[in-house]
Amino acid sequence: MSLDEQITTIGAISSGRGENLRYILMAERSGYIPAQVKVVLADQLNSGALTIAREFDVPCFYLSPLGLSREEYDLQLIKHLEEASVELVVLTGFMRILSPAFVKHYRNRILNIHPALLPSFRGMDAFQQALDHGVKWTGTTIHIVDEDVDHGPIVYQVPVPVREGDTHESLKVRVQKAEYKAYPKAIKMFLEKEPKHVGRKLVFE
Amino acid sequence: MSLDEQITPIGAISSGRGENLRYILMAERSGYIPAQVKVVLADQPNAGALTIAREFDVPCFYLSPLGLSREEYDLQLIRHLEEASVELVVLTGFMRILSPAFVKHYRNRILNIHPALLPSFRGMDAFAWCFAW
């Protein structure tokens, strides 16, 4: 990495295991992405993302949503992200829908990963949706977050085959394996290639 | 091809160029698929599929939809398909929506190709849709 390369400050928000966060942190430490994860936030006390953040010595906070409206909760998120001077918000399995105010505050600076080839299988449990529909290919999509769920401009996609006899678990394992490579790559593309917005599309030069 | 292999009679229906039909016919002639295309139907008099059918010596018919309801038109299709003892209907760029009666008649024996990874971009002009996304 050259000395004058710009390092983007990242804040990650998670609800679950946070394995994608682990691969983003490994990409950061190895210099693969020109970024530094400054803070990790979680809405679940036992979120794996908090454990991973501690492993990597990244400040992390559990923010309880108890008794807070969506807007009040998101203000808490923003407060912590601003304290860490975060420029890019990365959702790694965050199960809450962000308020329009949050999306507006970080317009075009929030990335999410969805375990399907959008616009197929938006919303909850994309694995089961794919199995129930009987598709032969699914995959993973990294996209910019806008006001609609699993809808914003697409940064990067990777197709993953569905195999005969796949269960929810076996398909999930295969898609997640693709995610661990795809998310760091998408972040790298997004930060290094500075895509243009054309309508709802992202154009990489 | 073994002698006792079963050969399925196919009927193809098309509106456009019918290039997919060409590749299906080549697959049939080479023995790649255990099937024989018995008839080609088109709802456009200048459908490329009709030219291709003639190239391959397959009986083909232009069926005009003029003045016919969807159901009446589909009965014409069924009549021609039945005369050719078709067991599998293959749509190669057929731009009309088939009636429920037709679908019921050939339940699970009609194949279509759609130029997108369904369920993304169903309907007309999947290419334009996917650029818009």
| Segment A35-55, tens digit of pLDDT | 999 999 999 999 999 999 999
Q: Which domains does chain B have, with CATH numbers?
A: 8-132 (3.40.50.170)
A200 three-class SS = coil
The answer, yes or no, to whether residue A22 has pLDDT greater than 60, is: yes
Task: Report DSSP letters for A162-200, one per residue.
Answer: --TT--HHHHHHHHHHHHHHHHHHHHHHHHHH-PEEETT
Instruction: State mean pLDDT over A146-167.
Output: 96
Q: How confident is the model at residue A21 (pLDDT cuts 50, 70, 90)?
A: very high
The answer, yes or no, to whether residue B54 has pLDDT greater than 50, is: yes
Q: How far apart are CA B71 and CA B101, in angstroms?
A: 7
A82 three-class SS = helix
ipTM of the complex, rounded to two decimals: 0.80
Give B 108-127 residues with CB within 8 A of chain A.
117-121
Q: Which domains does chain A have, with CATH numbers?
A: 8-195 (3.40.50.170)
Q: Give the residue, A167 or A3, on which the prediction is more confident.
A: A167
Catalytic residue among B55, B114, B120, B125: B114
Q: In this structure, how many other beta carbons lie within 10 angstroms of the beta carbon of residue A88?
A: 21
Chain segment A81-126, per-residue pLDDT in tens? 999 999 999 999 999 999 999 999 999 999 999 999 999 999 999 9
Mean of pLDDT over chain B:
93
Q: Is the pTM of this model over 0.90?
A: no
- The reported pLDDT for the residue numbered B4 is 55
B46 to chain A, any CB pair closer than 8 A? The answer is no
The answer, yes or no, to whether residue A19 has pLDDT greater than 90, is: yes
Q: How confident is the model at residue A4 (pLDDT cuts 50, 70, 90)?
A: low
Q: How far apart are CA A145 and CA B115, in angstroms?
A: 27
Q: How far apart are CA A50 and CA A40, in angstroms?
A: 7
Q: Would you state the structure tokens that stand for residue A9, as one six-digit string?
A: 């400050």
Chain segment B101-129, per-residue pLDDT in tens? 999 999 999 999 999 999 999 887 776 76
- The reported pLDDT for the residue numbered B125 is 73
- The reported pLDDT for the residue numbered A194 is 87
Angle subtended at Cα A12 by Cα A7 and Cα A18, rounded to the nearest 5 degrees: 125
Best of A120, A136, A140 to disrupt the B interface (most B CBs within 10 Å) is: A120
- The reported pLDDT for the residue numbered A118 is 97
